[in-house]
Structure 1
Amino acid sequence: MVSLFPFTADLHVHSCLSPCGDIMMLPNQIARRANEMGIDVLAITDHNTAGNVEVFEKVLSKYGVFLIPGIEIQTIEEVHILAYFSSASIAIMFSKSLGDVYLPQIKNIPEEFGYQLYCDENDEFTAIEDIALMNSISLSLSKAIELVKQHDGVCIFAHIYRTFGVIRQLGFLPKDVRVSGCEIRDRTELEKAKQDGCDRVFISSDAHLLESIVRPRMRFYMKERSYDEFVLALNRKDGRRIELL
C-alpha cells in the first residue's frame, strides 16, 4: 500500500509576462506569497507562453514550492485551456511552437493592453515581449489539446463560466475532446458544473495580482510532489485524488 500525503495547490497563476498580470507578479514575490498562503504546488500559466517558467521553477524551489510548468492557451474559438507539462524545457519548447507557428505576429501595445515582461531570479526585468500574447492561436480546441498531448502534457478547461471559458463561449462541454477536468471559480459553481457534465472539478485563483493568491482551495493526495504524481491525481488514478477545500 502506497502512502499518500496531502499537498495544497494553486494551478492557475500569471506572472508579469501576461499582459494582464501585474508587474509585481515576480518570482520571489509570488514565492513568498505562496509560502504565506500555505501553497505546496503552484503552476505558472501565462497567456500563450511559458517564457518565465524556468526562472520561476528555480526560485520557487528555494522557497519549498513545487512548480508545475503551464500555459493558458487561447484557441481559435476564443476558449481558454490550461496546459501542464512535465518540465520547464518541454513547456518552453511547446511555447516556442505556439509563438512561431500558431500565434498571430501582431505587435503588442503595452499602454493599451499591458506590458509583457521577462524577469530573472532577482526579480529584475530582463526583456519585453513585443508580440501580443492575448490573441487566439490558429488551432481549434481539439487540435490545441492534441498538440499538448503530443508534448506529453495534460489539459483542463479554464474558468468555464467566465469570459473565454468553454461553456461561456460555446454554451456546452464538447464531447469530442478529452481533458482532465474543468476549473471553476469556487464551490458555488460546483453543482452547476456537475450538471453540465464536469465530473472532475478544480478550483484555482487565476491570480493576476499578488493579493489574489489566496489560501489554496484544493488538496492533492500524492506519494510525492512530482509531475507524474500530479497527473495521477488529476486523473484520480492509483488512489491519488483531489479534495476541494
Structure 2
Amino acid sequence: MVELREYVADLHIHIGRTRLGAAVKITAASSLTLKSIIQYASNVKGVNFIGVIDCHVVEVMNEIEEDIKLGKALQLEEGGIAYQGVTLLLGSEIELYDENCQGPIHILAFMPTLKSMSEFSLWMAKRMKNPTLSSQRIYENAQVLQRKVRELGGLFIPAHAFTPFKSLYGKGVRESLTEVFDPKLIDAIELGLSSDTNMADQIKEIHQYPYLTNSDAHSLEKIAREYQIIKLREPSFHEIQLALKKKDGRKIMANYGLNPLLGKYYQTICARCATQTTLAVCPACGANSKIKGVSDRLMELASVTSKQIDRPPYVHQVPLEFIPKLGKKTLEKLRNHFGTDMNIIHHVEESQLRQVVPEAIAASIIAARYGKLSIKAGGGGLMGK
C-alpha cells in the first residue's frame, strides 16, 4: 500500500525580479526572486509545495536549468522541480482576451517539465507583446489556449475567479463559463481572497471542480496567506493531478483562506469615496460609479441555495501579520522560538505562546486558529481588518 503524506501547498506566487534584476511582475516586490521565494516558503512559512507562476519567462527557466546543473535542484520524473525543503510547480499566469470575453480573464497554466514550459513559452511569445513580464495579455481563442495546455500535459485553472477585475466571473463572462471555456478542459477553480467554498458553491456549474486557495503573493510576507493541505505520495506534478481528480487516496484535505470579509473586494463600494453602497447614486458623494463586490456578484450568479457536495473543509485562517498588535519584531521573536508560521498557526499551545509574546497577542493567535476574531469587511481594493 502506498504511503501518503500531507503537504502544505501555495500554488500562486509571483516573481518580482530575476536574479539579474530584470522586472517580471511589475507590481511585486523586488525581493521576490526565485531564490528568496524558495528559501522563505520553506524556512519561514513552512510550505512544502509552491507554484511559481512566472516560469514562462526565459531568464527564470534559465536559472532553474542552471540550478539543476549545479545540483541545487532536481527535475522529478513525475513532474516538478525539487529544491531542498520545497518542490516547485512550473506555472504561468496569463491575461486572456478573446472575442467572447466581456473583459480579460486571468488563468493559471502549470506544466510538468521545463521542456513543456519552454514549448508553452515559445507558443505564447507569438501571441503577447512582452513575454519577459508576468500576467501579460494574449489575444487568442480561449479554447485554443485550453487545448494547447492539455496537449502539453498541463493544468488549466481560472485564477481568483470572482474578483471584480480580470477574472472569469468578475467581468469575463455574463453568466456562464461556457461562454468562453470548454468545461471539460478546466482542472480546478482558484477562489481568490474575497470568496470561500460556501460562497462559490452558489454557482452550480462549478460544483464539478475542486477549489484551490492560494496567496497570489506579491511580497515574501504574503506567501501562504492562503494555502491548502493536500494528501500525496510525494510533492510532484503528477501527484497534484491525481489529487485534483481525487484518485487513489490523493486529495485536498482542507482549504485554508482568509475570511472573505478580509478580502479587498468583498463588498460593493463607491469608486470615488469608498463608501459602502449598492445604490445607483452614492449617498455620501453623489457619484454613480461603483466597484462591485464579490458577495454581490455571486448573488447575481447564484443558481442554488442549498448543496450536497463532498468538499474538504474551508478554514477561515488569519495570517500572522494580520494579528492585532503583532509587529515585525514580535513576529521575528515568535519565528525564532517556534520555527515556521505553519507551526505557530496550527500547533503551538497558548501557554507556550505566552512565554514569548504578551497575553493579548497569544490569545488573538489562538482566536484566529478557531475563527473567533472579529472582522471588518474590505472592498474596492482595501483589505478588511
Q: TM-score scaled to structure 1, two decimals?
A: 0.80
The whole-number CA distance in structure 1 between the counterparts of 2:40 and 2:242 is 27
What is the aligned partner in structure 2 of residue 185 from structure 1?
Answer: 192
More displaced stretch, 162-171 vs 78-87: 162-171
**Aligned residue number for residue 119 of structure 1:** none
Deviation at residue 153 of structure 1 after TM alignment: 0.5
RMSD value, Cα = 2.4
Shift of 1:38: 0.9
- Confirm or deny that 1:242 pairs with 2:252: yes
Determine the C-alpha separation between the residues in 1 that align with 2:143 and 2:57. 19
User: Whose radius of gyration is greater, 1 or 2?
Assistant: 2
Q: Is the 8 A contact 1:220 1:233 kept in 2?
A: yes
Alignment-derived partner of residue 117 in structure 2: 91
- The CA deviation string for residues 28-59 of structure 1, in whole angstroms up to 9 with x for no partner, is 21122102111101011029646514535846
- Which secondary structure does the structure 1 equivalent of 2:53 belong to? strand
**209-218 or 79-88, which deviates more:** 209-218
User: Paired residue for 1:157?
Assistant: 158
Q: Distance in 2 between matches of 1:51 and 1:11?
A: 20
Task: Please give the residue correspondences for 1:1-245 in structure 2 after superposition, counting only pairs within 5 Å.
Answer: 1-16=1-16, 17-35=24-42, 36-46=44-54, 49=57, 51-53=59-61, 55-56=63-64, 58=67, 61-76=82-97, 77=101, 78-99=104-125, 101-104=126-129, 129=132, 134-162=135-163, 163-169=165-171, 170-175=173-178, 176-177=182-183, 178-186=185-193, 188-196=195-203, 197-199=205-207, 200-214=210-224, 217-243=227-253, 244-245=255-256
**Per-residue deviation, 1:236:** 1.6
Q: Against the structure 1 CA distance between its residues 230 and 10, is the aligned structure 2 distance closer, same or farther, given a 3 Å change threshold?
A: same
**Which amino acid is 1:68 matched to?**
L
Aligned AA for 1:164? Answer: K
Shift of 1:186: 4.6
Distance 1:140 1:103, change over 3 A: same
* Distance change >3 Å, CA 215–CA 137, structure 1 → 2: closer
Give the aligned residue type for 1:206.
D
Give the Cα–Cα distance (whole angstroms) in 1 for the partners of residues 140 and 39 of structure 2. Answer: 36
Distance 2:3 2:151 in 1: 31
Structure with more contact order per residue of length (Cα contacts < 8 Å, sep ≥ 6): 1
Report the alpha carbon displacement of residue 214 of structure 1 after superposing the two structures with TM: 2.8
* Higher-strand-fraction structure: 1
Instruction: State TM-score, norm by structure 2.
Output: 0.53
- Hey, what's the Cα distance between the residues in 2 that align with 1:47 and 1:223? 25
Distance in 1 between the 2:170 and 2:194 partners? 18
Q: Could you tell me the percent identity over the aligned residues?
A: 25
CA distance in 2, matches of 1:72, 1:227: 17
Structure 1 residue 184 displacement after superposition? 1.2
* Structure 1 unaligned blocks of 5 or more: 106-115, 117-128
| Distance of aligned partners of 1:51 and 1:148 in 2 relative to their CA distance in 1, 3 Å threshold | farther
Structure 1 contact 47–134 (Cα < 8 Å) conserved? no
